[in-house]
Structure 1
Amino acid sequence: MILTKAQYDEIAQCLVSVPPTRQSLRKLKQTFPSQSQATLLSIFSQEYQKHIKRTHAKHHTSEAIETYYQRYLNGVGRNGTAPVLLELANEVDYAPSLMARIILERFLQEHEETPHFLFKEVMVSHLGNLINLLSTDDKVIFNQVPNDW
């Protein structure tokens, strides 16, 4: 089935008000049953990428970076096991992976004098925890969505 511009726009409009989750994809499939999963996932991904590109500059100002970094440190300081990074990214409507990059780059600026081997050990631990959170929490889009969504 060929997708018309009007159909694409209708699907894209539905995506404006939903978070980037698998549950949203399921609802989209229910709303547009005549479209294939692949088509809906493609549109979903394209629209999310457009959103990230539009808001990228806003999240990379020095003020925003410092705010995010301080909020991350405060959150981790209060509860080291809380998904602070994920919550922060969702709150400011930015991709968790890109938020992690902002935090990591800011951390590196502050710790340039840290010996490489020590830094690597600490960051592997932090990134391992982040990956575990991202893989168990359904609040992000993964590169591959299972066929049963």
Structure 2
Amino acid sequence: MKLCMYEEILRLMHQYKTRDSLPLIAEKFPCVSLNALGSIFSQDYQKKMRKTHYIHYSPTAVAKYYERFTEGLHNGEKNILITLSEELDLSPALLGRIVLEKHLSNTKYLGEAPPKSIVSQLMKEPSMIDDPLLATEIHGCIIADDHYGPLSDSIKHSIGHEYEFKLNNTLDRLGIAYIGEDQMRMKGYDKTPDVKLEVPIAVDGYVVNWIESKASFGDEHSHKTYLKDQFWSYWNRFGSGMVIYWFGFIDELDTNQDKGIILRDKFPEHVVKMDPSLK
């Protein structure tokens, strides 16, 4: 996907604002899959949450949100946090976490911030929250939020496994030998791609020693982050490799081919297997 198309898709998403608009956007861009549009929407949503995170975590904002929640409980309201999140244009799961942290600070930690690990565990298992009304509200926030928070993480994890399985099946079908992350970790590697090929292959004239599967769209922010945190580490350890962004990527980001990292949006139809005796 060219950058200009990506920017136009983002413009329409900002205009429509909801995920329900994706089928309408798909009509304007029939060459772009709904999976790609969904990934672009989620990435943009998460970027917006990161940019505004500090505003909602200010002491004034936290006190205001918690007061609004407790007043709502006193008045017998339902879905207080979801309603408030819509008013604030804020992730329901993030708002739920903010209110949960404030509740724990007030009730268990004598005004101090609760440990992040405890908060994360309660967000994953809201039934463990001591206040049943708050537990119900938090559970509602998690279920309502498929872009941010525990449900979003579970969805991404599940889809990631699905496409790793797809990659492994393709390699098995083609008779390309490889080892996976678990085997590499057993050998002592701390940074591991999804698969390391036992014998390199060639794709469009480029040698591929490893393959990383990304069940997402490759935008500028995510790709730069992956390069820094993952891909160059793989390159240092294993040589040149290939990244598959299954939901597409911005074409202009594929700038490291000559340095040893190529991008694709599917497993290539034509690969050249090297003679194992030449390894």
Shared fold, TM over 0.5: yes
Q: CA deviation at 1:25?
A: 2.6
Larger RCO: Structure 1 or Structure 2 (Cα < 8 Å, ≥ 6 residues apart)?
Answer: 1
Q: Is this contact kept in 2: 1:20–1:141, CA < 8 A?
A: no
Higher percent of residues as strand: 2
Distance 1:125 1:97, change over 3 A: same
Q: Is this contact kept in 2: 1:69–1:103, CA < 8 A?
A: yes
Separation of aligned partners in 2, 1:122 and 1:91: 27
TM normalised by structure 2 equals: 0.43
Separation of aligned partners in 1, 2:88 and 2:129: 29
Q: Which amino acid aligns with 1:78?
A: N
Q: Which amino acid aligns with 2:104?
A: L
Q: Which amino acid aligns with 1:25?
A: L
SS at match of 1:34: coil
Q: What is residue 31 of structure 2 aligned with on the other side?
A: 34
Q: Which amino acid aligns with 1:94?
A: L
Residues 21-79 of structure 1 show CA distances to partners (whole Å, capped at 9, x for unaligned) of 4x233333233332101110111011101110111011010000000000111112212
Q: What is residue 56 of structure 2 aligned with on the other side?
A: 59
Separation of aligned partners in 2, 1:124 and 1:66: 21
Q: CA deviation at 1:133?
A: 6.2
Q: What is residue 85 of structure 1 aligned with on the other side?
A: 81
Q: CA deviation at 1:15?
A: 1.4
Q: What is residue 3 of structure 2 aligned with on the other side?
A: 5
Distance 1:18 1:75, change over 3 A: farther
Q: Is this contact kept in 2: 1:59–1:65, CA < 8 A?
A: yes
Distance 1:37 1:121, change over 3 A: closer
Separation of aligned partners in 1, 2:37 and 2:45: 12
Higher percent of residues as helix: 1
Q: What is the aligned-residue identity percentage?
A: 27
Q: What is residue 112 of structure 1 aligned with on the other side?
A: 108
Distance 1:109 1:129, change over 3 A: closer
Q: Is this contact kept in 2: 1:20–1:48, CA < 8 A?
A: no
Pick one of 70, 73, 92 that aligns with 1:73.
Answer: 70
TM normalised by structure 1 equals: 0.76
Paired residues, what number?
Answer: 134
Separation of aligned partners in 1, 2:13 and 2:63: 30
Separation of aligned partners in 2, 1:131 and 1:76: 15
Separation of aligned partners in 2, 1:97 and 1:29: 27
Structure 1: 5+ residue runs without aligned partners?
115-119
Separation of aligned partners in 2, 1:99 and 1:113: 20
Q: Which amino acid aligns with 1:126?
A: L
- RMSD between aligned alpha carbons? 2.7
